Every structure is written in C-alpha cells, then in structure tokens.
Amino acid sequence: MARTLDLSALGVRIELLRTPEDTGGELLEFDVVGRARGFLASTHVHSSQSERLEVLSGALKLTIDGHEHLLRPGQAMEVAPGTPHRQQAGATGEGRVRIQSRPAGDTLGFLERVEQMGRDREFNRFGYPKPVPGARLIRDFGHAGHATTPPLPVQRAFSRLVLGLAEASRPYVFVDEWDVAAPREAVFSALADARTYPVWWRPVYIDVESDGPAELGKESRQHFKGRLPYHLNTRSVITQLDPPRTITAEVDGDLRGTGTWTLTPIADGTHVQFDWQVHADRRLLRLLTPVLRPAFRWNHNWAIARAMAGLEPFAQQLANQPAAAETATA
C-alpha cells in the first residue's frame, strides 16, 4: 500500500509510489489527489529537476513559462529544470495527477516538511506559510525549488532577516543547581530579600532598592552587571512566596522574564535550583542576540559562579544569627 502524506491544509494528499530509496535517487514518483491551494498552486521553479505531470482523473491547468495548457485524463507534459510553472485544478471535484521528479533531489524531504507544517498549523488561512516557518522552508529547500518572485537572493535575504528576528525574540532558558552547606531557612532568607544581593552576590549586583523584606507582591529594583561590558536595570515583583521552599519573581526592564528559586533540604545543607527564563529587552541586546547568544550564556554562567561563591558564607552567617534569620523569614 502506498505511503500517504497528509497535506490537507493545502487541499491535497500525496500518495508515494516510488521514493529515492527505491530508485537510488534517480526518481520520485507520487500522486497528488485533491485540489491544491495556497503556495502549492503558485508559480515556482525547480532548479535542477525535471517534472512530468500526467492527469489520471479530473483536469489540470498547467502554466509553463507563461503559456497555459489544460490537461485531461491520459494527457501529460514535462517541465524542464529552471522553468517557471504553476499547477491548478482545471475542473470541479477531486483530481488525481501523477508526478515524476528527476532526479529525486530533496523533494520528498520538502513534502514531509510541508506535512509537518500542516500538523503544526504553520499555514495561514490562505494556504501560505507563516513568516518563520516560511523562512525556514526557504533556508532549507530554496536551493531545490522556490517561488519565482521575488528573486531567490531577495527571498533568502528576507528569510535570514525573519529568522534573525525570531532568534532575537526567543527567550534564554537557564537552569542552575548547586549545594549550599547551610540550613534551608538561612538560604531562603538570603535569596528572598534581594536587598542582600550586593553584599554576597559580588561584583554582579551593584545596588538593590526595596521598601522592606520579602513579601508577596513586593517590588524591588536592581542595578547589576556581568562580565560583558554593560550594566542592566530591572524591576522585579515577587509573585510566589512559599517559605522556605520557593520564591518566584517576574522581572521587567532591560531584561524581561521569570525567575524561580527552589530549595530542597539535603543531609549537609540545601540544594538550590534556579530556573530563569528571560528575554533581552534592551534594544542593543535584542539586535545582538542572534550573534552573541553564546556570549550571553557565558556571561550568565560567570554571574552564577559568583552566586555560588557568595551565597554559602552569607547563609552560614545568617544561620549563626537565629533572630535575624527568623525576622527575615517572618
């Protein structure tokens, strides 16, 4: 039984008859069943493949290099490599057209990608790819086939721009874990009250302003820096507070995201986990993100190493001051 690809988002299904594996890459043969719509029915070109189209049922309006042909059952035409062409249903109802692509090239991979895009709802209501999936399609398959307009170099440049912007908007996701040789209550006190950060998280935190100890809804403002040559200013609001287990804060400003500290008691102290999902909102950082993402991750690792170095002695100091620790967690 023929393997079928579901391209119903574009009005058709593909029944594979002979694949590159069957033919040693010489040929891909498949039936297109239905009525193609959207970008499948737009004018396009295959850079290095010929394409033979034979109508088995229904009718096909085939436009080759500006010349229109109406094919009926039993009729076939071949499109030479590099020739602009367009396939549209030429009659009402469901048609069936058999296509042979020589050599097979990347056509099967392209069709499988289109099927996955349909599953992921990456086409608009007109049957054209949404910007980011469409840019990926041009990046990955533009060498084999592409729309005739605009010119391929323009399409590639646009796809790079779209993917760059998408990369810039993708959040950084960090998960850091380490053990602290201090009681969980003392560690919680240090982490919950951001006013202590300039004391123990040095030289990262320069200044923190807040009008009191940690409470649900409490706002604080931070001025800090990393190893890279820039300073950042943020505002954070505590959105979850479960002493001495978890603290979650929403952050905005030069960085925007959510940070959660989770503390678990262990035999000789506390296991600390910091989950941090963040967008770089400062304009320069946003523009540089596609290029400097690895550097930003390195910068984060450097800052966390300073936290690892400073949190333990500070929490131990708090643990030796029971009254102060109780006040901080009250």
pLDDT band at 259, cuts 50/70/90?
very high
Tell me the residue range of the domain where 27 lies: 3-128
pLDDT digits (tens, 9 = 90+) for 4-51: 999 999 999 999 999 999 999 999 999 999 999 999 999 999 999 999
Of the ranges 10-19, 67-76, 248-257, 273-282, which one carries the lowest mean pLDDT score? 273-282
Q: What distance in Å separates the CA atoms of residue 311 and residue 40, rounded to the nearest whole number? A: 59
Decide which of 128, 155, 185 is a domain's last residue: 128
The β-bridge partners of 62 are 69, 87
Judgement on whether residues 185 and 296 belong to the same structural domain of the protein: yes
pTM of the predicted model over 0.75:
no
Residue 273 located in a structural domain: yes
What pLDDT shows up at residue 319?
Answer: 93
Structural domains in the chain (count): 2
For residues 240-249, average pLDDT = 95
Domain membership flag for residue 320: yes
User: Would residue 315 be called left, alpha or beta, if left means φ above 0 and alpha means ψ between -120 and 50 degrees?
Assistant: alpha
DSSP 35: -
Omega within 30 of 0 (cis) for the link into 203: yes
Express as a percent the part of the chain with pLDDT over 70.
91
Written as six digits, the tokens of 291 are 């290029």
Which burial class, exposed, middle or buried, applies to 126 when counting CB atoms under 10 A from its CB (0-12, 13-18, 19+)?
exposed
Q: What is the pLDDT of residues 135-194, one digit of tens each?
A: 999 999 998 899 999 999 999 999 988 887 776 667 788 999 999 999 999 999 999 999
- Domain check: are 119 and 204 in the same one? no
* 16 belongs to a structural domain: yes
Residue 142 domain flag? no
Tell me: do 323 and 228 sit in the same domain: yes
Interval 83-122: pLDDT, tens: 999 999 988 888 999 999 999 999 999 999 999 999 999 9
> Distance between CA atoms of 269 and 292, rounded to whole angstroms?
37
